[in-house]
Amino acid sequence: MITRPALLCCRFLAALLLPLITAGALAAPAAEPIRIGVAEALTGPASQYGIPILNGFLLAAEEINAAGGINGQKLLLVTEDERGKKEEAINVFKKLIFQEKVLLIFGPTLSNSMFAAGPIANAAHVVAFGTSNTATGITDIGPYIFRSSPMESDVVPATLKTVGAHLPLHRVGIIYGNDDAFTKSGYDVFKSTLQQQQVAVVDTETYSRGDVDFKAQLTKLKAAQVDAIICPCLAEEGANILIQARALGLSVPFIGGNGFNSPALLDNAKSAAEGTWVGSPWFDGNTAAENQRFLRAYRQKFHSDPNQFSAQSYDALWMLVDTLKKITLTSQLDKNRELLRDALPMVSFAGATGPFSFRPAPSHQGKPGGYDAHQTPFVYVVRHGKFTLVR
Amino acid sequence: MLSMLAQQLVNALSLGSIYALFALGFTLVFGILGVINLSHGGLFMLGAYAALFFLERHWPAWLALPVAVLVTGIIGLLIDLLVLKQLRRQRAPHLMPMIATIGATILMTSLAQGLFGAESRHFPLSFFDNASLTLGAVTLPYAQVAIMVIAFGTMITMGWLLKKTRLGIALRAIAESPRAAALLGIPVERLFHLTSFLAATLGGIAGILIGLSFNAISPFMGQPMLHKGIAAIILGGLGDIRGAVLGGLFLGFAEVLAVTYLSSEYRDAFSFGLLFLVLLWRPQGLFGATHLRSA
């Protein structure tokens, strides 16, 4: 607990320091960095996505600043932990917008949090740029909401079409977590896409967050005699589902959503993952020069392999740099925020995730929407313990 | 259809024994100490991580796993010494130890996350190699056979310990009335420590076994298990060893049958609805005596 005298003391110190800080800022106006907010889940369960995302930003920022920044101005990442929680995301967004006075905010990590915090940024006329939000409806929040992560509804049709070209796909079963925005949204997309492609769903099973035993649901799916099982699950649950399915003698191929798109799936499921299909905006085996450069730099800096999430955040920061180079920032923050929001939709970029541009989200009842990612997904299947690209 | 039902019954038995194994240590603390120790989920998680820690340092499994169980026991003992004992001394109301042990759980979760990361991990070995026991159309992974054997073995051992040994008689005396037990010369505090240690080792064993059979160790694995554990011990009768096992099995069967005959969508609604009905009929739980504490 902070006692009253201690609080007074703090205030006194702050008052002493304040002129120093502002004086320092005034002395060198040209070198003032561009403040970029990064609000990601750095602790809590979602940090398994948030930390790779932050790493992507850190790597890109380091490269950009080493190359001299943007027209002489360096980038300064103001990082906040939103802990993968709605309330926390709202607090962090307010702090970044009103206290830290950032130009835009990258994040938050989960779609759930964007639904909660996005409206704050939109009302304050500050761009909120998600690099990992894939749920439908995110960009309906308003014209200041951008995302570089393709929606499941972009990835799933391509995935199912490719699978259908390689094996019979007439009757399928689905298993998904119905208490999570990410897996639920993945399920909705699969369901409507399957309907469009006239594939019959003969059994749908659900589980709850934190479940480890899926044998009851899988036994039912086995009895339903399906061609394949659709699993819009996260990698950890997905690995367990695969292992238990194989142990029960259920040998049909699995088709995963965005959550399957993780080295953790192969790592945990091992041979049980064989023959699993996934669609993804990023492929680590992509030989494009941008991707190879990213892979090398990431491994060198972090001594580990990047994943899709770090590739997407890395690309997002470079996209921002591309845009900032085209506009002239003024001394007024509000005006700069508007300038950026107007220039960002014009992005045309090729990075670690391949060619990228933005697509305006359809407006709802006359309300303008934000911008979704326009990108062709990669489709791959697990063969001999490795993700293998399928054309 | 029949083979599916047979498989589902085996699934229910295996799921139920997981809940039962977890609930055992949980109910023991309540029976003797009279507190709901909400850090049991944290101890369960810590047991799995302790084993992971030693196995990753290339300790042989025969050494790593018992040491991990011991470490979990010691942490349980520390929680008793640093938290529960202080509250006992101050005669804090019942709610205090609950809140304090939630705090201990948060501390353990953050610690595990800081040391090991948030992503789900798995043991660098596969005792069972995902192999299964197959009987006709019914399969059951060996790891879960082990869980069942250990859950029932522990239940029987604990029952014997409490009913037939001097230690058990002393523990039951404490469960009846700590003050009367103290007056009779039973070292109540020391047995409280021993109980906390034992319960934590049971939690640790559960964590390791579940880590082994599901390949999923995460800092957050204790929380959902804690919810099921609370349901199991309330259903079985708070503080009762047989009750914890049967409560766990009941919950497992309720869940699996709900998935089989209703829909997995209604699984939790069905099993907890059933729990509610049982409690309307027997508010003290299946085995709980009216005076609640019966060890």
The answer, yes or no, to whether residue B293 has pLDDT greater than 80, is no
| Least Cα separation, residue B57 to chain A (angstroms) | 19
The answer, yes or no, to whether residue A143 has pLDDT greater than 90, is yes
| HSE, side-chain direction, 13 A CA sphere, residue A12 | 6
Is A263 contained in some domain?
yes
Q: Which residues pair with A173 in a beta bridge?
A: A203, A229
Is A353 contained in some domain?
yes
Cα–Cα distance, A307 to B121 (Å, whole number): 17
Q: What integer pLDDT is reported at residue B130 of this predicted model?
A: 61
Its sign, for the CA torsion B100, B105, B110, B112, is positive
Q: Convert the pLDDT of each residue in A298-327 to its tens digit.
A: 999 999 889 899 999 999 999 999 999 999
Q: What integer pLDDT is reported at residue B289 of this predicted model?
A: 61
Q: What integer pLDDT is reported at residue B191 of this predicted model?
A: 92
Q: Residue B220 is nearest to which of A45, A217, A246, comparing CB atoms?
A: A45
Listed in sequence order, the residues at least 6 apart from A24 whose beta carbon sits closer than 8 Å to its beta carbon are none
> Tokens standing for A170?
């007439």
The answer, yes or no, to whether residue B7 has pLDDT greater than 60, is yes
Q: What percent of chain B has pLDDT over 70?
A: 95
In this structure, are A276 and A182 located in the same domain?
yes
In this structure, are A181 and A330 located in the same domain?
no
Q: Residue A43 is nearest to which of B113, B132, B218, comparing CB atoms?
A: B113
Is A24 contained in some domain?
no
> Tokens standing for A330?
């003024």
Q: What integer pLDDT is reported at residue A315 of this predicted model?
A: 97
Report the CATH number that the domain containing residue A353 is assigned in CATH. 3.40.50.2300
**B residues 75..114 contacting A (CB < 8 A):** 110, 113
| β pairing state of A277-280 and A200-207 | unpaired
In this structure, are A360 and A303 located in the same domain?
yes
CB contact under 8 A, B122 and A268: yes
* Chosen domain end from A280, A311, A336: A280
CB contact under 8 A, B216 and A249: no
In this structure, are A236 and A312 located in the same domain?
no
Is A131 contained in some domain?
yes
Q: Are A147 and A133 in contact (CB under 8 A)?
A: yes
Give me the helices (H) in chain B, please.
2-33, 40-56, 61-79, 85-89, 95-116, 142-164, 166-176, 178-183, 188-214, 222-236, 241-261, 267-281
Q: Residue A243 is nearest to which of B4, B8, B215, comparing CB atoms?
A: B215
CB contact under 8 A, B220 and A223: no
**B230 closest CA partner among B214, B251, B215:** B251
Contact pairs from chain A to chain B, CB under 8 Å: 101
In this structure, are A272 and A245 located in the same domain?
yes
Q: Convert the pLDDT of each residue in B156-193 to its tens digit.
A: 888 898 889 999 999 989 988 888 999 988 999 999 99
Choose from B2, B3, B5, B7 for mutation: most chain A CBs within 10 A: B7
Q: Are A380 and A151 in contact (CB under 8 A)?
A: no
**A residues 223..282 contacting B (CB < 8 A):** 223, 236, 239-240, 243-244, 246-249, 264, 267-268, 272
**B residues 161..180 contacting A (CB < 8 A):** none
Edge-first strand listing for the sheet containing A277-280? A200-207, A171-177, A228-231, A254-256, A277-280, A378-383, A386-390
CB contact under 8 A, B264 and A45: no
CB contact under 8 A, A268 and B130: no
Is A26 contained in some domain?
no
> Tokens standing for B214?
């599901």
Q: What integer pLDDT is reported at residue B145 of this predicted model?
A: 85
Mean pLDDT (chain A, rounded): 88
Interface residue B5 vs chain A (CB under 8 A): no
* Chosen domain end from A280, A302, A334: A280
Q: What integer pLDDT is reported at residue A12 of this predicted model?
A: 46
Cα–Cα distance, A232 to A178 (Å, whole number): 10
Choose from B9, B14, B115, B119 for mutation: most chain A CBs within 10 A: B119
Q: Are A82 and A49 in contact (CB under 8 A)?
A: no
**A381 closest CA partner among A281, A280, A278:** A278
**B residues 251..270 contacting A (CB < 8 A):** 255-256, 259-260, 263-265, 267-268
| Least Cα separation, residue B122 to chain A (angstroms) | 7
In this structure, are A136 and A158 located in the same domain?
no
Residue B164, number of CB atoms within 10 A of its CB? 10
Phi/psi at A352 (nearest 5 deg)?
Answer: -65, -30
Q: How many domains does chain A divide into?
A: 2
Interface residue A364 vs chain B (CB under 8 A): no
Cα–Cα distance, A116 to B280 (Å, whole number): 39
Q: Residue B15 is nearest to which of A213, A246, A268, comparing CB atoms?
A: A213
Q: Are B112 and B224 in contact (CB under 8 A)?
A: no
Choose from A42, A81, A219 for mutation: most chain B CBs within 10 A: A219
Q: Convert the pLDDT of each residue in A250-298 to its tens digit.
A: 999 999 987 887 777 888 888 889 999 998 889 888 889 999 999 999 9
Phi/psi at A96 (nearest 5 deg)?
Answer: -65, -40
Please indicate whether residue A188 or residue B211 has the higher confidence score (pLDDT).
A188
Choose from B214, B260, B271 for mutation: most chain A CBs within 10 A: B214
Maximum pairwise Cα distance, chain B: 61
Helix (H, G, I), strand (E, B) or coil at A292: helix
* Tally of residues, chain B: 295
In this structure, are A260 and A158 located in the same domain?
yes
Exposed, middle or buried by CB within 10 Å (0-12, 13-18, 19+), for B157?
exposed
In this structure, are A234 and A272 located in the same domain?
yes
| β pairing state of A34-40 and B138-141 | unpaired
Is A162 contained in some domain?
yes
In this structure, are A64 and A96 located in the same domain?
yes
**How high is the ipTM of this complex?**
0.83
Q: With bands split at pLDDT 50, 70 and 90, how would you rate the model's confidence at B49?
A: very high
Mean pLDDT (chain B, rounded): 87
In this structure, are A126 and A49 located in the same domain?
yes
Q: With bands split at pLDDT 50, 70 and 90, how would you rate the model's confidence at A363?
A: confident
Give me the helices (H) in chain A, please.
4-27, 47-66, 86-94, 111-123, 152-166, 181-196, 215-223, 235-247, 263-269, 289-302, 308-326, 333-343
Apex A136 CA angle, A131 and A137, nearest 5: 95
In this structure, are A55 and A173 located in the same domain?
no
Q: What integer pLDDT is reported at residue A31 of this predicted model?
A: 65
In this structure, are A65 and A211 located in the same domain?
no
| Least Cα separation, residue A303 to chain B (angstroms) | 16
Q: What integer pLDDT is reported at residue A30 of this predicted model?
A: 54
Is A344 contained in some domain?
yes
Domain hosting residue A201, numbered range: 153-280
pTM above 0.80, yes or no: no
**DSSP single-letter state for residue B1:** -
Choose from B120, B132, B138, B227 for mutation: most chain A CBs within 10 A: B120
**A45 closest CA partner among A176, A280, A236, A184:** A236
Give whole-number Cα distances, A325 to A17, A64, A343, in Å. Answer: 34, 12, 10
Q: Residue B260 is nearest to which of A209, A216, A239, comparing CB atoms?
A: A216
The answer, yes or no, to whether residue A25 has pLDDT greater than 70, is no
CB contact under 8 A, A240 and B132: no
Q: Which residues pair with B135 in a beta bridge?
A: B138
Q: Convert the pLDDT of each residue in B97-114 to its tens digit.
A: 999 999 999 999 999 988
> Tokens standing for A240?
């367990």
Is A270 contained in some domain?
yes
Q: Convert the pLDDT of each residue in B106-158 to its tens digit.
A: 999 999 988 888 778 888 766 555 677 787 778 877 877 888 888 888 888 88
Please indicate whether residue A20 or residue A241 has the higher confidence score (pLDDT).
A241
The answer, yes or no, to whether residue B290 has pLDDT greater than 60, is no
CB contact under 8 A, B120 and A207: no
Q: What integer pLDDT is reported at residue B93 of this predicted model?
A: 85
